[in-house]
């Protein structure tokens, strides 16, 4: 749970607010998971600013936490959003949400697992295979890795080109059966099913083909670079 606090560092939320929410949390348990889901959504903007990590202790059950390493993230709509694929590629490309929606959609039902211990079972995801975008870009011979950037301006991640080509790595447009919400990194985030959650970068803005891997945000803070889940 201490690690939870680290993952959700941001601008402070008052202690009274947090304690008040924990009191409401008792009701969430009684009400069951539907209520918890609603509460989780309600807490999203607060949790991402909660340096105490107390909101992460909230009894949410089989539900997502909301993480952001920055205090606030600009909201991008389907119209304003752009995704750039660049770096060591034959063809630099920029995609709008509609462009991505027009491409073949891959559906996955898989667990989401944060390295700090919480997991959500059987999450429905949909989007474009990352390998599809890589094929269109045409990686140059020197390209060995893929680096991801977020429009939160801070978070980055990377994986080897080989990992990025796995069939279970998608540029997700849908999560939990609906378009990816802002809190969950919408309109477009990565979902890497076989890796811990920190590889699934939210608010995806750029995919860059590189020679060699760069350490991601949490990796420069001690997380293992290979996030493959082995269990
Ligand atoms: N841009 C950005 N992406 C991110 C993070 C973040 O703080 N910022 N946190 C990561 C971590 S550690 C996890 S577990 C998941 C959490 O996804 P969620 O907020 O949708 O639950 O997002 C990952 N992607
Ligand atoms: Mo995480």
**How far, in Å, from the CA of 86 to the mean position of ligand 1?**
23
Residue minimizing CA distance to atom 16 of ligand 1 = 67
Name the residue of 53, 67, 68 whose CB sits within 8 Å of the most ligand 1 atoms, as the mutation to test its pocket: 67
Residue of the nearest CA to atom 12 in ligand 1? 198
pLDDT of the residue at 44:
62
Ligand nearest, relative to CA of residue 68:
1
- pLDDT at 187 > cutoff 80: yes
Instruction: Supply the pTM of this predicted model.
Output: 0.82
Q: What is the pLDDT of residues 77-132, one digit of tens each?
A: 999 999 999 999 999 999 999 999 999 999 999 999 999 989 999 999 999 999 99
pLDDT digits (tens, 9 = 90+) for 23-66: 444 433 333 444 455 556 666 666 666 666 666 666 566 789 89
Compute, in angstroms, the gap from residue 116 CA to the centroid of ligand 2.
6
105 CA → ligand 2 middle, Å: 26
Ligand 1 centroid, distance to 200 Cα (angstroms): 7
As for ligand 1, residues whose beta carbon falls within 6 Å of it are 7, 64-69, 114, 150, 152, 155, 184-185, 197-198, 200-203
- What pLDDT, on a 0 to 100 scale, did the predictor assign at position 30? 35
Average pLDDT for 185-212:
98
Phi, psi of 35, deg, nearest 5 = -65, -45
| Ligand nearest to the CA of residue 64, numbered in listed order | 1
Separation of alpha carbons 13 and 58, rounded Å: 15
- Give helix 15-31 / helix 33-47 axis angle, nearest 10°: 160
Give the ligand 1 atom nearest the CA of 64. Answer: 21
28-33-37-42 Cα dihedral, nearest 10 degrees: 0
Report CA(32)–ligand 1 centroid distance (Å). Answer: 25
pLDDT value of position 42: 60
Distance CA 122, CA 81 (A): 28
Q: Is the pLDDT of residue 11 over 50?
A: no
């Amino acid at each position: 749970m201490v690690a939870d606090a680290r993952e959700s560092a941001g601008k402070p939320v008052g202690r009274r607010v947090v304690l008040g929410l924990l009191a409401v949390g008792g009701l969430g348990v009684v009400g069951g998971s539907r209520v918890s889901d609603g509460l989780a959504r309600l807490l999203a903007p607060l949790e991402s600013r909660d340096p105490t990590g107390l909101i992460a202790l909230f009894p949410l059950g089989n539900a997502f936490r909301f993480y952001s390493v920055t205090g606030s993230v600009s909201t991008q709509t389907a119209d304003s959003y752009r995704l750039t694929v660049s770096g060591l590629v034959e063809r630099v490309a920029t995609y709008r949400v509609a462009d991505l929606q027009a491409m073949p959609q891959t559906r996955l039902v898989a667990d989401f697992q944060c390295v700090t211990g919480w997991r959500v079972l059987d999450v429905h995801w949909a989007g474009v295979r990352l390998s599809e975008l890589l094929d269109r870009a045409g990686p140059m011979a020197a390209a060995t890795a893929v680096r991801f950037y977020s429009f939160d301006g801070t978070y980055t991640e990377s994986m080897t080109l080989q990992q990025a080509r796995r069939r279970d790595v998608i540029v997700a447009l849908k999560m939990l059966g609906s378009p990816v919400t802002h809190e969950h990194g919408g309109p477009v985030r990565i979902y890497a099913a076989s890796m811990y959650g920190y590889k699934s970068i939210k608010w995806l803005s750029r995919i860059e083909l590189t020679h060699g891997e760069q350490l991601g945000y949490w990796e420069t803070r001690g997380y293992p670079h290979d996030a493959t889940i082995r269990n």
